[in-house]
Structure 1
Amino acid sequence: MNFVQPIRDPECIFYIKRFLKEQSERNYMLFVTGINSGLRISDILELRVRDAKRPYFNLIEKKTKKKKRIDMTPALQRELKAYIEGKEDEDHEYLFKSREGINKPISRSMAYKILRAAAEYVGLDDIGTHTLRKTFGYHFYRQTKDVAMLQEIFNHSDQRTTLRYIGINQDAMNNAMKKFKI
């Protein structure tokens, strides 16, 4: 299994959003939902139209089987509201529907392909579906410096795990190496 990184550069995020929006609204919203919620891809793909109508996500995490409520950012609420416009009578429909079959979500591998294409467009390596969650965590931490809150959001057992997970430790090592001289 490859180790994936968060997308640290806001400019890359901007260009990925633009690239995905030109592809399809679904692909764009998949990315926006991931980087603004901190949810795992397995939980994002299970979201339905009815889930986008509330200002929070109420779900049982697939991985941990724990019940979780995550408030949406105002920006994500606005984006989802626009995305589901005209789908008011389709509460049971998946938010990120596959073109295959009737009312099936896209697969995890399709989500990966979508993200890889966007990453390739902006010249990023070490990108996968988990990048969405890590990107959320990285920017949440940079904005709030609240590792305890992020640890709680991610359901991690300790803060060191959270910092390593979002790449903050890697940033510190990279910066230290740049300053090192003999």
Structure 2
Amino acid sequence: MNTVEPIRDINTVWDIADYLGEKSERNKIMFLFGIYVGIRVSDILSLKVRDVRDMNYVSIREMKTGKEKRFPINEELRPLLNRYIKGKADYEPLFPSRQQNKALSRCQAYNILSTAGEKFGLQHIGTHTMRKTFGYHFYQQTHDIVTLQKIFNHDNTHITMRYIGLEQDAISESIMKLSFKKRR
């Protein structure tokens, strides 16, 4: 299994969102939902329209952990989400596949995201990229690794730092500073 990375550059995040929007509003909103809420793709794809309509918070039971999770819908995401669900029935999957009344599969989501990543020269893109991008930018804006650890339900901050790519960034930065220049 290949390790996926967060999208570190905010302009690339929006380029990908715009690119996905040119192809499909569903794909764009799925991507934006993923980067704004930071939950696993399996939990995103299981949502119904009723789970987000007129809600400030969404409550789910995480598929992987079985734990209850409650998260707010970001004020930047809310108007995009409202426009997207307008006219949709409450029972419909939030992110439907082309098959009648079925949710988009994890495999389809992967193909959508990896194709977009390739378009922008990103090689390590997958479904976890949305969650990792949320975490990376949350940390860059808040520097609050403890809260991020709690959001992700990680056992410790080291796991969280490694998960969002900060550990690798620090290693790479240290290696780049290494010098074997002869000292006088």
Say yes or no: TM over 0.5.
Answer: yes
Matches within 5 A, 1:129-168: 129-168=127-166
1:56, 1:72 → 2: CA distance? 6
Matches within 5 A, 1:15-54: 15-53=15-53, 54=55
Deviation at 1:86, TM superposition (A): 1.8
- Equivalence for 1:122: 120
Matches within 5 A, 1:98-113: 98-100=97-99, 102-113=100-111
Identity of aligned residues (%): 50
Structure 2, unmatched stretches of 5+, are none
| 1:52–1:77 contact (8 Å) kept in structure 2 | no
1:127, 1:29 → 2: CA distance? 17
Q: Secondary structure at the match of 1:63?
A: coil
- Equivalence for 2:78: 77
Query: How many residues end up aligned between the 2 structures?
Result: 179
1:78, 1:174 → 2: CA distance? 39
Q: Secondary structure at the match of 1:70?
A: strand
Residues 60-79 of structure 1: per-residue CA shift (max 9 Å, x gap): 00000111101121111121
Aligned-partner residue type, residue 84 of structure 2: Y
After superposing on structure 2, the runs of 4+ consecutive aligned residues of structure 1 that deviate more than 3 Å are none
TM-score if structure 1 supplies the norm length?
0.96
TM-score if structure 2 supplies the norm length?
0.95
Q: Which has the larger radius of gyration?
A: 2
Q: Secondary structure at the match of 1:124?
A: coil
Aligned-partner residue type, residue 150 of structure 2: E
